[in-house]
Structures are given as C-alpha cells and as structure tokens.
Chain A
Amino acid sequence: MATHTYEQAPDHGAKAGVLAYLATAAAVLLLMMVFGLLMRLEQAQWISIGADRFYELMTLHGAGMVGIAGIAGASVMWHFLRQYVELSPRIFVANLALFLVGVGMILASVLLGHFHGGWTFLYPLPGKSMGMWGPGAAALFMGGLLVIGVGFLLLHLDVARAIVARYGNFARALGWPQLFGHDDGKAPPPTVVASAMVTVVNVIGLVVGASILTMMLVNLYVPGFDIDPLLAKGMIYFFGHVFINATIYMAVIAVYEILPRYTQRPWKANKVFLASWTASTLMVMFIFPHHLLMDFAFPKWMLVMGHVIGYLNTVPILVVTGYGALMIVYRSGIRWDMASKLLFLSLFGWAAGAMPAFIDGTISVNYVMHNTLWVPGHFHTYLLLGLVAMVFGFMYYLGKPDHEADDRAIDRVAFWLFTSSVLGFTLSFLYSGKESVARRYAAHLPEWLPYDRIGSVFAALVIASALVFIVRFFARIGVARHDNRRAPLARGAAA
C-alpha cells in the first residue's frame, strides 16, 4: 500500500496584530455574552432592568457581536493568508484602530446618548425615536458603523492588492482556470480561494453599507433628502447579510489550515471545492431578499430568488465543507485536543445551523416564523457553535506550547459544557420560535416565560465555558507568538 505523505507548511506563531485582534474579539465577546444573558434574564422576569436598558443592550449586543465576528474572522484570514501573499501589517493594525474608534463612538451613542435603534438601524427609526434619543446619538452610532466599515474596506482592499500581486487577478485566485478548464492541480490553496471570495463580496457589501449609512446620516440633518424605506431596507440587509456571512467564510480558513496538520492529509482545492466557492460568492450576494420575504411590496422575482438560493446555499456547506471535514478526519488517526475538537465541532455547528436557516427561508414557513425567536435560534447555532468555535479552536491552536502538550481537565470539561449548553441555548430559541414567541421584545407574555428561563440557564452555562476558553487563551498568549510545531502527529502516520 502506498504511503501518503503530507508536507507541513511552517507553523508560524501569531504576529502581535493577530493577537491584538483576538484579544479584542475575546474581551468584547465575553461582554456581549453577558449583555445577551441580561436580556434573557429580563425576558425571564428574573431581573428588572427596564425596556430602555434592554433595547440599549440589544443594540450593543447586535453591533458588538457582528463587529467582533468580523474582527475574529479577519484575524484568522490574515494569519494564514500571509503565508501565500504579502499583506500590509500597517493596514491590518489600522483596521483594528478604526474598529476601536468606531466601538467608542457606538458605546458613547448608546450609553451616553441612549440610542437604541437596533444594530440594523432600519430606516427611518434612527431619525424617529419619539424623543428617546437625539439626532446626535443616532449620528454617532451610524458614524461609528461607518468608521468600522471603512477600516474593513481598507483591509479587504489590501488583501485584494496582495492577491492580485501574487496571482494576477481574481479569476486565478478563485481557481477559475482549473474550475473551467483542465485541473492541473495548481489551483491556489483553499485559504487564498476563501480570501478572494470574501474580498469580492465584502468590498461590495461594505460599499453598499457605507452608502446607506451616508444617505441616512444626511437624512438625519436634511430631512428633505428623502430615502425610499424599501430601498434602505434592501441595502441594509444586503450589507448585513454579506458581512456576517463573510465572517464565517474567513474563520473557516482555520479549519482548512489546521485540520490537515492534525490528520496529515491535504485539503485540496479541487474542481468541486472551487465550484462551491464560486457558487457561494454569487449566492452570498443574491440571497439577501430572504430577509425581506414579508415585504410584499418587494419585487416577487427577487423574493422567489431568495427562497431558491436559500436551498442552494446549503449544498456547499453540507456537501463540500462539512463533508470535507468528515473525509479528512475519518480513519485519520487524528489525536483529538481542544483545537482539533473545537474546529471539528465548528463545522457541525455551521452545517446544523444551516438546517433551520434554510427552512426559515422557505416563504410559506417565513410567513409564520419571520421575526420570531426562530431567527436568533438558527443564527446563534451557526455563529456560536460554528464561527465562535472556529475562533476558539484557532486560539487553542496558537496557545499550544508544543505538539505533545496535553489539555487540562478543565479544558475538556469546558468543551463538553460549551457544546451541550450552546445546543440547549439555541434549541430553546428554536422551540420559542416554534411557539411563535416574537423577537426583540423587552417584556414577554406570561405564556413565554418558561422558554426564557430555560434559555437563561443555558446562556449562563455558555458564558461559563467561554470564560474558561478565554482565560486559557490570555494565560498562554505569550506562547502564541512562537514558531513551533503545534499539531500532534496522527496515530500511524509517517513522521
């Protein structure tokens, strides 16, 4: 039997910038998780913070989580992509600096200006608060988002520059010569393909997002500058959908890069892989009408397009990336540690969360489930058990002092606590959605309280396990900078 050999790329330590990104993401994640718990406790009537504070926390929770998902995803992409292309460390740091400025503006807007128009800033709500906040607070919030968006746009433009410098153009970076012609096995590695995809969709998404934010900022002070609310909604959801999805497509690079090191098997960009990423590039941009299925005035063909793409979009997740993880792990002799377990779990979370998501994108289902807790049910599944697990897996990987280092018992306990409590937490949301519990309510009807109380308990357990992961990351942050071999050799693999 032929022996398969796998050549490991040098395992670089993380640059200080990557660790600054991860530290920011971890700290904000923990704080936003606590805000989320407070919201659930308020709905469960176990605490009393009032509707104004609830909606302020809700606005911060949404904006903060989307922001750090972007920051964490970008850190994964940047860390691995720099193996293949020459990226600018200054632009990378500039993005984080702009992010922190934006966060400061958003915090001031909410905590000092009492803005609570939701992170989706749906027009014309920011300008019509019924006296609850002033135009200055709304401008500060939207200005903060704009500053953060400009930072990410700079980062993606730098990634675009670096990719074009190395591969000539985006068609090559996406592997189109191999996809549409003869597959000579020389397609760019998965990291480059994924980074190219994310760059394409996020540059477009961020420009659309910045456009509507600018339009709304003008409208705040010049009300005569009228905006069509349906156009505004379409632009906001286009930007929001693209941006949050791009975070997963960036973070999954950790799986593509790290699982092959554990299994000593390659994750190659073959024709099916390339086809799925090209398809995802298009689908991520054209699926956004599935957020507008209950806007009957929206063009019908676009709503049907959202429904259809919702189904198609699950295929690459299940059949290519999810299935790829099963293939690479099956009979690999992999040695499970926190990094490999969390990364494997993350693909389960992504694939499992896609199930209630595509069901919600079915128009006749959306008719009775849109804006119920079903929606946070599915997105918390693929973000918490998917994206966040990818980031925690990446953190554990960087924090490994050497390939033979064992996990501590507390890590192993935290892993199973995280897995089970996230499932309990998200299923409590999904069940609430099945029971028609409306989303974004500061106070719940008495019939809904049992689900809120169950959800609160699971949310507290999620935070407890995440706290272990985060403390362990900070405790080993010095190790993360070292160049060393981190992945243990698979059982029976040739060294």
Chain B
Amino acid sequence: MQPIAWQLSLVLMTLVAFAFAFAAINSGRREDDYTPLQKRAYRLRKRLFWALVLVFGPAMIYTLLELPYGAGRAHGGAGAAQLVEATGYQWRWELSRDEVVAGEPVEFRVTSADVNHGFGIYDANLHLVAQTQAMPGYTNTLRHTFGEPGTYRILCMEYCGIAHHNMMTEIRVVAR
C-alpha cells in the first residue's frame, strides 16, 4: 500500500506542477480580452471537474470496500482467531501472549492503562503492516492475519511522553 501511495502522490504532484509551469511559461504574451479566454477556461474546467469525479469517485468508493474496522481484515486466514490482549503503559507494552501462528487470524484487543498510545505492527523489514490506537477506557479490536513467519515489532504510534520512541516489544509469528 505504501509504495502505491508514494507513487500516486508523486504522479499527482507532478501533474499539478506541470499545470502551474504551463501557465507560468505561457504568461508572457498578453491576451488582453479576458472574457473569451475565461469562457474557454471554464469549459476546460468543467471537463477537468468531471474527469476528477470519474477517476477519484470510484477510487473513493472502492477503497471503502475493505475497512479495518470489521472482521474483513482477517480474510485469508483459516481457523479460529488467536486472541492477544494488548495493553499500553507509559512506556511499555503488555501482551497476553508473544507468539502466534502464521496464516491464522489474530485478534488484538488493544487498550491503554494510562494515556493514548498507538499499536503499530512492523514486519521484519520495518514496514508498518497494521495499526490501531490504544486508548484509556476503550478497547479497539484489530484483526490481522500474518502471512509470513518471523519476528514482528510493536511500536508506539501515538506520542505518549519522554520514552515514546522506546516503547517497543516483539511478537513472534511461527509457521503452522
């Protein structure tokens, strides 16, 4: 997901840059009668508007089809969910178990004993694969199926005080 977001952002930012560069490069010679130019520009704008609607409208809806809030995230996993109770403290994580099985859904029940924390799961390559907030008074249920065995790190994703950056733990994912 992250590479797609990066590439898409670069493409869109570049397109915006081209549009501004085009107007700047063509700013030198004056077309003194602004009204016909405005009419042409408004027609083009209407097309641009509908192009945005046609491209980004479906994208906006399509990306809503798979939300992390329900059980859908654990799709692909077989068997009953492996339950992990996760509680954040200033500045450590307490997990009810530190080993789960790959290929089977895991249900993290995430909360906090003190302030806001963020429960971020990082894979062996240090890429964030899933997260939810850890809040006092609330339990956020995060469902994730680990595809690959290995050692995953849990990092805090919400600023929680002086040792926020040290609030890490590990969870082992073993093969079935």
Interface residues, chain A, CB within 8 Å of chain B?
A: 1-4, 51-52, 55, 116-118, 120, 122, 124-125, 128-130, 132, 228-230, 233, 265-266, 272, 294-297, 300, 303-304, 307-308, 311, 315, 318-319, 322-323, 325-327, 329-334, 336, 344, 347-348, 351-352, 355-356, 359-360, 362-365, 367-372, 374, 430-431, 433-436, 438-445, 447, 490-494
Contacts and interface: CB of A to CB of B under 8 A. Distances in A.
Interface stretch (B74-82, B96-104, B127-135): B127-135
A367 B130 contact: yes
14 contacts: A4-B33, A118-B159, A124-B114, A294-B118, A311-B59, A329-B27, A331-B27, A331-B31, A348-B20, A352-B17, A369-B128, A370-B157, A374-B5, A443-B165
A51 B140 contact: no
B176 to A, nearest CB: 25
Nearest to B129: A368
Contacts of B115: 122, 124-125, 128
A85 to B, nearest CB: 28
Contacts of B56: 311
A440 B159 contact: yes
B126 interface: yes
A190 to B, nearest CB: 15
Contacts of B5: 356, 359-360, 365, 369, 374, 434
Nearest to A297: B138
A134 B151 CA distance: 39
A368 B1 contact: yes
Given A364-B68, A434-B3, A438-B155, A331 B26 contact: yes
Contact of A300 (B49, B69, B131): B69
A1 to B, nearest CB: 5
Contacts of A434: 2-3, 5-6
Contact of A364 (B9, B34, B67, B165): B67
A4 B162 CA distance: 62
Interface string B1-41: 11101101100110011011011101111111111011001
Contact of A492 (B29, B68, B129): B29
Given A296-B69, A348-B20, A362-B63, A333 B28 contact: yes
B12 A371 contact: no
A266 B38 CA distance: 11
Contacts of A265: 34
A434 B60 CA distance: 21
B3 A323 contact: no
Interface string B107-148: 000000011101010100011111111011111111000000
Nearest to B73: A367
Interface of B: 1-3, 5-6, 8-9, 12-13, 16-17, 19-20, 22-24, 26-35, 37-38, 41, 45, 48-49, 52, 56-57, 59-60, 63-64, 66-69, 90, 114-116, 118, 120, 122, 126-133, 135-142, 155-166
Contacts of A272: 45
Given A3-B33, A132-B161, A331-B27, A436 B16 contact: no
B8 A344 contact: no
Contact of B41 (A228, A330, A436, A492): A330
Contact of A129 (B13, B129, B130, B161): B161
Contacts of A331: 26-27, 29-31, 37
A333 B29 contact: yes
Given A356-B5, A364-B1, A318 B52 contact: yes
A434 to B, nearest CB: 4
Contacts of B133: 294-296
Given A229-B136, A367-B131, A319 B66 contact: no
Closest 6 CB pairs of A and B: A333-B30, A492-B30, A441-B165, A331-B31, A296-B140, A436-B128
A372 B128 CA distance: 9
Given A125-B159, A311-B60, A330-B27, 4 more contacts: A122-B158, A272-B45, A333-B28, A436-B2
B63 A364 contact: yes
Contact of B38 (A327, A439, A493): A327
A2 B35 contact: yes
A118 B164 CA distance: 12
Contact of A365 (B1, B28, B161): B1
Contacts of B26: 330-331
A322 B16 contact: yes
A357 to B, nearest CB: 9
B2 A490 contact: no
Nearest to B14: A352
Nearest to B3: A434
Given A344-B20, A348-B16, A295 B159 contact: no
A270 to B, nearest CB: 9
B131 A51 contact: no
A124 to B, nearest CB: 6
Given A333-B27, A368-B129, A493 B20 contact: no
